[in-house]
Amino acid sequence: MKRQRNTKIVATLGPASSDHQMIRKLHESGADVFRLNMSHGSHEEIRERHRIIREVEKELDSTIGILADLQGPKLRVGVFANDSEELAEGARFRLDLSDEPGTQDRVTLPHPEIFAVLEAGANLLVNDGKIRLKVLDCGADFAECEVIAGGTISNRKGVNVPDVVLPLAALSEKDRKDLEFVCQLGIDWLALSFVQRPEDVAEARDLAQGRAAILSKIEKPAAVKAFDEILEVSDGIMVARGDLGVELPVQAVPPIQKRLIRKCRAAAKPVIVATQMLESMIESPMPTRAEVSDVAAAIYEGTDAVMLSAESAAGQYPVEAVTTMDKVAQEVESDPTYREVIEASRNNVKGSVADGIVAAAREIAETTDIKAICCFTQSGTTALITARERPRVPIIALTPLRGTARKLALSWGVNCYMTAELERFKQAVVNAARTARSKGFATEADQIVVAAGVPFNQPGTTNILRVAPCEERLIYASDPE
């Protein structure tokens, strides 16, 4: 489905968006990738949503990516005798391993691994940071704290530990079961929560065994510190600003977001900006001006995709939320300032022959009357490095592999279409011209740039660049074998 924008939209499915009609509407309105949140819903519900997505894909002759988001380990306090208590600023409060119901003075924190690494002076955040505790003294089974920011604490509220790297695997037992389930189901991207170190990503990759691309969620200070190493072993990144904004000062999140987006682009790996992008649209058909500015800022920064969470999963206006994102992206990308920002932040990568080919393709397309850059790709790498260039003309990615096309649905500006396996370069040029014409990117009077690799059907062989006419009789008359 040809979009009028380059930035992609990820929409989370849930109770408000689980039937065939709604999922189809969301895709037609602009959703390029659907997120299955493994924190909510049974395996049967996830299986049914997956089935519907693939039905819609077939009905509309489209390409839709599916991202399964693993829950990750959840750190929570225990229960209280009165269900909740009020903690006053300056009071003492104890966390321990006792099974006794909580009181105004203490509660269970059933995670000995936290106590093992705590030190005096460390901060503990409860209920998304609404309650802040400072550790005064601690041991193998307790932490004596001072209440820095008080409030109501109740049963099973979440706990964040921002100051230390926790000796916890990113994959819980539930995550391992969910990972195997969705990989067997046939998803394209696997989002990994609670990433702290590159070894967390390596573990998920070993379990996935090539059945899905790995997308690391950056939501902890430790992940920000180790970002370069995490990026190197990941296929993509999600800037998960919700937990990141809890564990770090909120004012630190925007510059971190900007830095991570630029690093992902330089590495030619897709990046999603997520969390609370159009939060008010859970209950309102109109976003706030601040939310629109937030979405626009991420697009100006060059993100590959923006994501809706509860807005599309549980909100009252899922279609309107997707439509709003679509309109914001179109408006931003039509602004001359957008091109200035994108081109000023372009990295001149000196690496492989393929890097040189796609850089040349972009230069040719922008200095002559070229309507599209067409690239043939097996693994998706050629399309990814073309997207890194952020060209002014559309990118058409042609691949014989359905899985590659679906993964590329997340990448900036990439329009993915299926093609038969090729044996000769002339076939590639003909197929590229036909696709450009049939999908409305060019007419017979236009020219396109074609990038491909010979021999065909081998990843990493991009080595040919050709400017080609879109009229077939001219191709046959002028193109070499």
3-state SS record for the chain: CCCCCCCEEEEEECCCCCCHHHHHHHHHHCCCEEEEECCCCCHHHHHHHHHHHHHHHHHCCCCCEEEEECCCCCCECCCECCCEEEECCCCEEEEECCCCCECCCEEECCCHHHHHHCCCCCEEEECCCCEEEEEEEEECCEEEEEEEECEEEECCCEEECCCCCCCCCCCCHHHHHHHHHHHHHCCCEEEECCCCCHHHHHHHHHHHCCCCEEEEEECCHHHHHCHHHHHHHCCEEEEEHHHHHHHCCHHHHHHHHHHHHHHHHHCCCCEEEECCCCHHHHCCCCCCHHHHHHHHHHHHCCCCEEEECHHHHCCCCHHHHHHHHHHHHHHHHCCHHHHHHHHHCCCCCCCCHHHHHHHHHHHHHHHCCEEEEEEECCCCHHHHHHHHCCCCCCEEEEECCHHHHHHHHHCCCEEEEECCCCCCHHHHHHHHHHHHHHCCCCCCCCEEEEEEECCCCCCCCEEEEEEEECCHHHHHHHCCC
Asked if the structure places residue 348 within a domain, the reply is: no
CA-nearest of 69, 3, 407, 63 to 238 is 69
Query: Of these residues, 8, 106, 217, 390, which one is catalytic?
Result: 217
pLDDT at residue 350 in the model = 67
| Confidence band, pLDDT 50/70/90 cuts, at residue 169 | confident
Query: Of these residues, 47, 54, 76, 259, which one is catalytic?
Result: 76
Determine the average pLDDT of the residues in 124-133. Answer: 94
Asked if the structure places residue 228 within a domain, the reply is: yes
Whether residue 399 sits in one domain with residue 443: yes
Map tokens 């890194």 to a residue: 388
Asked if the structure places residue 447 within a domain, the reply is: yes
CB distance 435 to 418 below 8 Å: no
Determine the average pLDDT of the residues in 34-40. Answer: 96
Residue 61's CATH number: 3.20.20.60
Map tokens 């609370």 to a residue: 276
Q: Of the candidates 142, 160, 178, which is a domain's last residue?
A: 160
Can you tell me the distance from the alpha carbon of 431 to that of 441, in angstroms, rounded to the nearest whole number?
Answer: 13
* pLDDT higher at 392 or 164: 392
Whether residue 277 sits in one domain with residue 199: yes
pLDDT at residue 476 in the model = 64
Can you tell me the distance from the alpha carbon of 407 to that of 28, in angstroms, rounded to the nearest whole number?
Answer: 19
* β-strands 8-13, 33-37 pairing: parallel
CB distance 32 to 65 below 8 Å: yes
Asked if the structure places residue 3 within a domain, the reply is: no
Q: Which structural domain range is residue 405 located in?
A: 353-478
Whether residue 449 sits in one domain with residue 321: no
Residue 94's CATH number: 2.40.33.10
Query: Residue 264 — left, alpha, or beta (φ > 0 → left; ψ -120 to 50 → alpha)?
Result: alpha
Can you tell me the distance from the alpha carbon of 39 to that of 269, in angstroms, rounded to the nearest whole number?
Answer: 25
CB distance 191 to 69 below 8 Å: yes
350 is catalytic: no
Positive/negative CA dihedral, 38, 40, 41, 47: negative
Show Cβ contacts of residue 197 under 8 Å, excluding neighbours closer than 6 positions: 165, 222, 223, 226, 229, 230
Query: Of these residues, 275, 404, 435, 462, which one is catalytic?
Result: 275
Asked if the structure places residue 472 within a domain, the reply is: yes
Positive/negative CA dihedral, 367, 372, 377, 379: positive
pLDDT of 480 > 60? The answer is no
pLDDT of 471 > 90? The answer is no
CA 432 to chain centre: 29
Can you tell me the distance from the alpha carbon of 209 to that of 197, in angstroms, rounded to the nearest whole number?
Answer: 20
pLDDT at residue 362 in the model = 94
Question: What single letter denotes the amino acid at residue 154?
Answer: S
Structure tokens at 422: 């090729």
Show Cβ contacts of residue 399 under 8 Å, excluding neighbours closer than 6 positions: 376, 377, 378, 380, 405, 408, 416, 417, 418, 419
Q: Tell me: cis bond preceding 455? Omega within 30 of 0 counts.
A: yes
Can you tell me the distance from the alpha carbon of 412 to that of 397, in angstroms, rounded to the nearest whole number?
Answer: 12
Whether residue 311 sits in one domain with residue 257: yes
pLDDT at residue 173 in the model = 94
Domain count, the chain: 3
275 is catalytic: yes
Asked if the structure places residue 466 within a domain, the reply is: yes
Asked if the structure places residue 347 within a domain, the reply is: no
- pLDDT one-digit tens code per residue, 82-125: 999 999 999 999 999 999 999 999 999 999 999 999 999 999 99
pLDDT at residue 374 in the model = 96
Show Cβ contacts of residue 62 under 8 Å, excluding neighbours closer than 6 positions: 1, 27, 56
pLDDT of 348 > 80? The answer is no
Query: Of these residues, 35, 265, 406, 466, which one is catalytic?
Result: 35
Whether residue 137 sits in one domain with residue 174: no
* β-strands 84-87, 189-192 pairing: unpaired
CB distance 384 to 268 below 8 Å: yes
Can you tell me the distance from the alpha carbon of 129 to that of 246, in angstroms, rounded to the nearest whole number?
Answer: 6
Query: Average pLDDT, whole number, for the chain?
Result: 94
- pLDDT one-digit tens code per residue, 264-287: 999 999 999 999 999 999 999 999
Whether residue 283 sits in one domain with residue 363: no
Asked if the structure places residue 2 within a domain, the reply is: no
pLDDT at residue 477 in the model = 60
Show Cβ contacts of residue 177 under 8 Å, excluding neighbours closer than 6 positions: none
Predicted TM-score (pTM) of this structure = 0.93
Whether residue 103 sits in one domain with residue 182: no
35 is catalytic: yes
Residue 371's CATH number: 3.40.1380.20
pLDDT of 244 > 70? The answer is yes
Can you tell me the distance from the alpha carbon of 418 to that of 420, in angstroms, rounded to the nearest whole number?
Answer: 7
CB distance 326 to 30 below 8 Å: yes
Q: Of the candidates 334, 369, 396, which is a domain's last residue?
A: 334
Whether residue 436 sits in one domain with residue 386: yes
∠ CA 362-371-388 to the nearest 5 degrees? 30
Whether residue 212 sits in one domain with residue 302: yes
Q: Of the candidates 160, 192, 227, which is a domain's last residue?
A: 160
Whether residue 317 sits in one domain with residue 269: yes
pLDDT of 33 > 70? The answer is yes
Whether residue 407 sits in one domain with residue 312: no
Whether residue 177 sits in one domain with residue 302: yes
